Amino acid sequence: MPFLAEAGLRISELKAVRWGDLELDGEPVVCVSRRHRLLDGEQETKSERSAGTVPITPELARELKAHRLRNGQPGREALVFTTGEGRRIDEANYRRRILDPACVRAGIPPIGFHVLRHTHGSVVAAATHDVRAVQRRLRHASASFTLETYVHLLDDRAGVDAVARALDGTAVRRRD
């Protein structure tokens, strides 16, 4: 769960992360290049626009190194996040066993996985006030989509519609 919140990945992207996708030394990053689709169970290569590298903190990199050691140093093609038996995690089971109890401990209503991604985007938006930083971090294809989603956290001095048009040539509906 910390990985989802910190990296801002979609659950389908998390389920496809392999050890070879992680750089845990130096400037730690995760390379997001595929996703696992629940409907058909297939690995799917991400489009160039939605693929990319996402920085992670040295603390998370240390946790991932420890996780790798606990799992017997799996190879580069092995999945990072698996069940105790080494199978791909099941979203519904993971939510029931991990996410929902964490919400109860935190005293909040149950949330979905995408809330962690949105929280990540909100933190980036609040820290930077830069829609392009949020767009790059979340790998959104459209700056106008990012702006419309996170406008409530961004400074409106330049005008929401003007910024969106300048970034990707499309206007957004203003939320009032």
pLDDT band at 125 (very low <50, low <70, confident <90, very high): confident
Closest C-alpha among 174, 122, 152 to residue 164: 174
Q: Which residues pair with 23 in a beta bridge?
A: 29
Q: Per-residue b/e over 76-115, b at no fewer than 16 CB within 10 Å?
A: eeebbbeeeeeeebebeebbeeebeeeeeeeeeeebebeb
Residue from 138, 20, 3, 134 nearest 59 by CA? 3
pLDDT tier at 149, thresholds 50, 70, 90? confident
19 and 79, same domain (yes or no): yes
Same domain? 12 vs 94: yes
Two tokens, residue 100:
């929902």
Residue 175 within any structural domain of the chain: no
Does one domain contain both 46 and 85?
yes
Contact 79, 46 (CB under 8 A): no
Please indicate, yes or no, whether residues 97 and 126 belong to a single structural domain of this protein. Answer: no
Q: Which whole number is the average pLDDT over 81-98?
A: 89
Q: Which domain holds residue 134?
A: 113-168
| Residue 141 included in any domain | yes
**3-state helix/strand/coil string of 57-80:** CHHHHHHHHHHHHHCCCCCCCCEC
Cβ contact 34:66 at 8 Å: no
Tens digits of per-residue pLDDT, 24-41? 999 999 998 877 775 555
Flag whether 174 is in a domain. no
Q: What is the per-residue pLDDT across 46-78, written as a single tens digit (0 to 9) for each?
A: 555 567 888 899 999 999 999 999 988 889 999
CB neighbours of residue 39 within 10 Å = 5
Q: 62: how many CB neighbours lie within 10 A of its CB?
A: 12
The count of structural domains within the chain is 2
Tokens found for residue 140: 């959104």
What tokens does 68 get?
């790798």
